[in-house]
Structure 1
Amino acid sequence: MSSPYANYGPAFFSVEYRVNGLWNNLLGQFYKTGAADKDFIISPEAYPKPDDTKALKADILVSLLTSGTSGFSISTPKLVYEGKGAASRNSFEDIMDQLEKWLAQAARVSPFNCWAIGTIGSKVVFMFWQDDTIQWLDWVNNRPGPVSSPKAYDITIDADWGVVSAMLAYFVGHPL
Structure 2
Amino acid sequence: MSSPYANYGKTFFSVEYRVNGVWNNLLSQFWKTGAGNHDFQISPEAYPKPEDTKGLKADLLISVLVSNGSSFSISTPVLAYEGKGANGDEFPKIFDQLWKWLQEAAELGQFDCWAIGTRGSEVAFLIWQKDVLQWLQWKGNQPTPVFDEFTYDITKNKDWETVLLFLEFFHSHPF
| TM-score between both structures, scaled by the size of structure 2 | 0.98
Aligned-partner Cα distance in 1 for 2:91–2:148: 10
- CA offset at residue 151 of structure 1? 1.1
Gapped regions of structure 1 (runs ≥ 5): none
Q: Does the CA-based 8 Å contact 1:123-1:152 persist in structure 2?
A: yes
Aligned to 1:124: 123
Matched AA of 1:35: A
Cα distance in 1 between the residues matched to 2:52 and 2:144: 33
Letter in 2 for 1:57: K
Post-superposition shift, 1:150? 1.2
> Between the two proteins, what is the percent identity of the paired residues?
62
Query: Corresponding residue for 2:41?
Result: 41
Runs of 4+ in 1 over 6 A off after TM superposition: none
Q: How does 1:15-94 map to 2 (within 5 A)?
A: 15-88=15-88, 90-94=89-93
Q: Is the 8 A contact 1:2 1:158 kept in 2?
A: yes
1:143 matches 2:146: no
> What per-residue deviation string (whole Å, max 9, x for no partner) do you get for residues 9-67 of structure 1?
11100000100111011100011111111111000000000111002000000000111
Q: Which runs of 5+ in 2 are unaligned?
A: none
CA RMSD of aligned residues (A): 0.7
Q: Provide, for residues 118-171 of structure 1, a one-character-per-residue CA deviation record: whole Å limited to 9, x for no partner.
A: 000000000010001100100011100000111110000110000000000000
What's the secondary structure of 2:165's corresponding residue?
Answer: helix
Task: Note if contact 1:124-1:155 (Cα within 8 Å) is conserved in structure 2.
Answer: yes
The alignment status of 1:99 with 2:98, answered yes or no, reads: yes
2:100 paired with 1:112:
no
Distance 2:56 2:113 in 1: 18
